[in-house]
Amino acid sequence: MTISVIIPVHKGGEAFQCCLNSLKQFALPEVEIIVVADGDNESGDMAESWGAKVVRNSPASGPAKARNLGAKIATGDILFFIDADVTINENTLPKVEQIFSQEPDLVAAIGSYDDEPGATNFLSQYKNLFHHYTHQTASEEASTFWGACGAIRRKIFLEIGGFDESYRLPCVEDIELGYRLKTAGYQIKLCKTLQVKHLKRWEVVSLLRADVFYRAIPWTTLILRYSQLKNDLNLQWSSRISVVLVYGLLVSIIATFWWPAMWALVLGISLALFAINFSVYRFFYYRKGIIFTLRMIPWHWLYYFYSGLAWVIGMIRYYLFSPIIKGNSA
């Protein structure tokens, strides 16, 4: 069984160099490495000098089309998609081969970020560790695909039409592919030991923009279009209840200006939020300590706030402005 690694890159920089270095260290010579330079000649030149097969796409059209271009020239039985800001380890590619060798009926598999993010600032550690926790506690019978660390049989990928190229930005093109695979009756597995390291540095603006406009709002459109609201990943019942509690907390805090007795309700809702998310906070406590955990709790509650807001915006856009041009939904 042969593997083709496909990496779309746009302004890859130092992180992309680290990505290539990890492949040089851990990928065997027979593994095909395909880099699609999406409007990025500098990264394309870097990949060519490194020895990868390079496809140049100009002007930039987004990772969905870039991945599809790479898949068209790939020769491997398995297409393994990774992002340009992740690195693999010594177990990543052997794990991909093992998964598909042992499960001949499996069509696709996704992995997880590891628990040692590359960027050291607080938001990067919080965001990437939360992503790791979400995947590590999710169902192994995955409900979607993931382009940052996802493998699929090439034959099925081409038959189903690949990624939807109308998504012109890094968005939910991988989730949309997963929904089509599931609708067609194919199995996707979440392999929790298949891991890569995420190097991306998150700042306040980039985190909020990605979470709200690139994921939550367009994901809402997909959920409504495919009627897919599984109790999994970010859509678990605990998360849905937490969204309601956060808005109840906000209303209660505002009400205290008129009825001081409402502070009792504020305390009660806060305790309920802490209790329902206790496993998350325990995870962060053991990984990063008490100070970090106390810092991340407000961000976690803010996450529930803007997730709920994005859901409402997404529903309004879907029902009032359908059909939505998916490329503009990001």
130 & 178 share domain: yes
Q: CA–CA separation, 74 vs 249, rounded Å? A: 52
Structure confidence at residue 236 (pLDDT) = 72
User: Could you read off the pLDDT of 243-282 as tens digits, one per residue?
Assistant: 999 999 999 999 999 988 889 999 999 999 999 999 999 9
222 CB neighbour count, 10 Å cutoff: 19
Could you tell me the end-to-end alpha-carbon distance of the chain, in angstroms, rounded to an integer?
36
Inside any domain, residue 214: no
User: Lowest-confidence range among 15-19, 39-43, 191-195?
Assistant: 39-43
258 & 190 share domain: no
156 & 274 share domain: no
- For the domain that residue 125 is a member of, what is the CATH number? 3.90.550.10
Q: CA–CA separation, 57 vs 65, rounded Å? A: 9
Inside any domain, residue 136: yes
Inside any domain, residue 225: no
How far is Cα of residue 64 from the mean position of the Cα atoms in its chain? Answer: 14
Assess contact for 149 and 96: CB atoms under 8 A. no
Assess contact for 69 and 36: CB atoms under 8 A. yes
28 & 105 share domain: yes
What residues make up the domain containing 12? 3-202
**Total domains present in the chain:** 2
Structure confidence at residue 34 (pLDDT) = 97
pLDDT over threshold 70, residue 327: no
Inside any domain, residue 210: no
User: Could you read off the pLDDT of 30-61 as tens digits, one per residue?
Assistant: 999 999 999 889 999 999 999 999 999 989 89
Inside any domain, residue 56: yes
195 & 242 share domain: no
User: Could you read off the pLDDT of 229-245 as tens digits, one per residue?
Assistant: 665 566 677 888 999 99
User: Could you read off the pLDDT of 87-145 as tens digits, one per residue?
Assistant: 999 999 999 999 999 999 999 999 999 999 999 999 999 999 999 999 999 889 988 99
Share of the chain above pLDDT 90, in %: 75
Domain boundary among 182, 202, 222: 202
pTM: 0.90
Beta-strand relationship, 78-82 and 149-153: antiparallel
